[in-house]
């Protein structure tokens, strides 16, 4: 009754992991799968309750629609306290709009407009995690409206009456989609290129940068600000 998983053809994104995959598949097929008779069938209602994910091809989009004019009001009421009225971000909360032409700069601003590859990510994430502290409460029309407003703020659309819906959602493409590439590691020398040097590897060694110059390490309850973020 149960099938052994097939060796799945690797997508280009997975080329680097192809060898690993072959090994894994070989191992799996060597051990016949068996049923333990555990668990119970999920009901249709249960799957509907939890099946909230949305993919770039539109799988998972619920029926609904909304425009940026409606979205602006919802955004002001439910989102702006952290993200700012225009998606500029309050304190260290995420910036949602702008940031075009910053990705090569010293201070890249990664927003839905400047960085995100797919609009479906906005639907998936906003419904499952937003508003922060009151997740999974927005209605589909509210999510479509908020996303339309985010698109407007990012100049992806210009008409605040444009009705974004499950019907036309996948037709909206984000400008940075083409700039996502595969994992190219290892991208530094391995043993194949060179044996690491053990003796007389350098003639001169100088300290070039020091943490104490910045002095942003927490001591007691200090809250000084350093550079960078971990998210």
Partner 1 sequence: MSRKKKKSIETDVTASRREFLRSSIAAGGAIFAGSAAAYADSDPAITDLQEWSRYLGKGVDRAPYGVPSEHEKHVVRRYVGWLTASVESSVNFTPLHELDGIITPNGLCFERHHGGVAEVEPEKYRLMINGLVEKPLVFTLDDLKRFPRKNQINFLECAANSGMEWRGAQLNGCQFTHGMVHNVMYTGVPLRYLLEEAGLKTNAKWIMPEGGDASGMNRSVPLFKALDDCLIAFKMNGEALRPEQGYPARLVVPGWEGNMWVKWIRRIEVGDEPWHAREETSKYTDLMANGKARRFTWEMDCKSVITNPSPEAPLKHDKGATVITGLAWSGRGTIPRVDVTLDGGRNWHAARVDGPSLDKSLHRFYYEFDWNGAPLLLQSRAVDSTGYVQPTKDELRTARGENSIYHNNAIQTWHVKNGGEVENVEVS
Window 55-114: residues binding partner 1 (CB under 8 A):
55-57, 59, 82, 91-93, 103-104, 106, 108, 110, 112
Residue with tokens 């260290």: 92
Among 30, 158, 220, 229, binds partner 1 (CB under 8 A): 229
Residue with tokens 């007389």: 200
Among 128, 155, 159, 167, binds partner 1 (CB under 8 A): 128
Judged by CB under 8 A, does residue 47 bind partner 1? yes
Q: How far is the CB of 228 from partner 1 (least distance, A)?
A: 4
Judged by CB under 8 A, does residue 38 bind partner 1? yes
Q: How far is the CB of 91 from partner 1 (least distance, A)?
A: 6
* Contact predicate 136/53, CB 8 Å: no
Contact range with partner 1 by CB under 8 A, out of 12-20, 68-76, 142-150, 156-164: 12-20
Tell me which residue of 182, 176, 177 sits closest to 99, measured CA to CA: 176
**Closer by beta carbon to partner 1, 30 or else 158:** 30
Q: Could you give the C-alpha distances from 202 to 109, 198, 199, 206, in angstroms and in order?
A: 38, 10, 9, 11
Q: How far is the CB of 100 from partner 1 (least distance, A)?
A: 11
Q: Is 59 helix (H, G, I), strand (E, B) or coil?
A: coil
Q: How far is the CB of 166 from partner 1 (least distance, A)?
A: 17
Q: Which residues share a beta bridge with 65? A: 165
**Closer by beta carbon to partner 1, 158 or else 193:** 193
Q: Which of residues 129-148 bind partner 1 (CB under 8 A)?
A: 129, 132-133, 135-136
Judged by CB under 8 A, does residue 209 bind partner 1? yes
Torsion of CA 182, 188, 190, 192, to 10 degrees: 80
What spatial distance separates the first Cα and last Cα of the chain, rounded to whole Å?
A: 44
**Closer by beta carbon to partner 1, 31 or else 158:** 31
* Contact predicate 112/174, CB 8 Å: yes
Q: Which of residues 168-207 bind partner 1 (CB under 8 A)?
A: 179-192, 194, 196-207
* Contact predicate 124/54, CB 8 Å: yes
66/146 Cα distance (integer angstroms): 8
Among 117, 156, 160, 170, binds partner 1 (CB under 8 A): 117
């Amino acid at each position: 009754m149960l099938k052994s998983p097939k060796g799945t053809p690797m997508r280009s994104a997975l080329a680097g992991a192809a060898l690993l995959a072959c090994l894994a598949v070989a191992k799996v097929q060597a051990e016949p799968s068996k049923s333990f008779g555990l668990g119970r069938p999920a009901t249709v209602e249960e799957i509907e309750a939890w099946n909230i994910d949305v993919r770039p091809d539109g799988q998972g989009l619920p029926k609904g629609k909304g425009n940026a004019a409606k979205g602006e009001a919802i955004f002001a009421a439910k989102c702006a306290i952290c993200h700012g009225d225009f998606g500029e971000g309050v304190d260290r909360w995420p910036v949602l709009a702008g940031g075009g032409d910053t990705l090569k700069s010293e201070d890249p601003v990664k927003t839905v407009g400047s960085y995100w590859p797919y609009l479906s990510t906005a639907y998936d994430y906003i419904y499952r995690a937003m508003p922060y502290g009151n997740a999974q409460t927005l209605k589909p029309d509210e999510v479509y409206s908020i996303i339309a407003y985010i698109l407007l703020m990012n100049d992806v659309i210009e008409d605040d009456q444009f009705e974004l819906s499950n019907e036309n959602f996948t037709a909206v493409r984000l400008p940075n989609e083409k700039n996502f590439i595969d994992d190219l590691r290892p991208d530094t020398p391995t043993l194949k290129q060179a044996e690491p040097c053990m003796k007389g590897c350098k003639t001169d060694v100088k300290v070039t940068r020091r943490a104490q110059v910045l002095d942003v390490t927490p001591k007691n309850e200090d809250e000084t600000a350093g550079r960078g973020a971990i998210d």
